[in-house]
Amino acid sequence: GAVVSQHPSRVICKSGTSVKIECRSLDFQATTMFWYRQFPKKSLMLMATSNEGSKATYEQGVEKDKFLINHASLTLSTLTVTSAHPEDSSFYICSARSGGYNEQFFGPGTRLTVL
């Protein structure tokens, strides 16, 4: 199947700093990308949906000014956690889907730890 990568795989940062996570579709063009977060032993929670070249659509309760999403090209989406705090520590997972295709391909996830 298609491959989606995330970088970095894990990051540790100090409280108050901003962290950028990249999501890339390596062998297909992703018209739509999704960002999820997952707490330990919990299910994935959808944060936002982004379509290439347009603004992301955020789920209810997700602060768009805190979690900045950019989907500037068909192969790259970035999630920036601004002014990170310890409660933002989580596992962030992206997924990508090409136009008109049923399957959604997931990245390996990024473990964010905010000290």
Partner 1 sequence: LAKTTQPISMDSYEGQEVNITCSHNNIATNDYITWYQQFPSQGPRFIIQGYKTKVTNEVASLFIPADRKSSTLSLPRVSLSDTAVYYCLVGDPVSGSSASKIIFGSGTRLSIRP
The CA-CA-CA angle for residues 37, 84, 16, to 5°, reads 175
Select from 28, 34, 58, 67 the one that contacts partner 1 (CB under 8 A): 34
CA distance 67 to 78: 10
Considering only the stretches 12-20, 60-68, 72-80, 104-112, report the one whose residues sit in contact with partner 1 under the rule CB under 8 A. 104-112
Select from 26, 46, 72, 115 the one that contacts partner 1 (CB under 8 A): 46
Select from 60, 61, 87, 100 the one that contacts partner 1 (CB under 8 A): 100
Q: Which is nearer to partner 1, 70 or 98 (CB)?
A: 98
For residue 86 the two structure tokens come to 């310890």
Question: Which residues in 58-87 contact partner 1 (CB under 8 A)?
Answer: none
Site residues (vs partner 1, CB under 8 A): 1, 4, 6, 31-32, 34, 36, 43-46, 49, 51, 57, 91, 93, 95, 97-109, 111
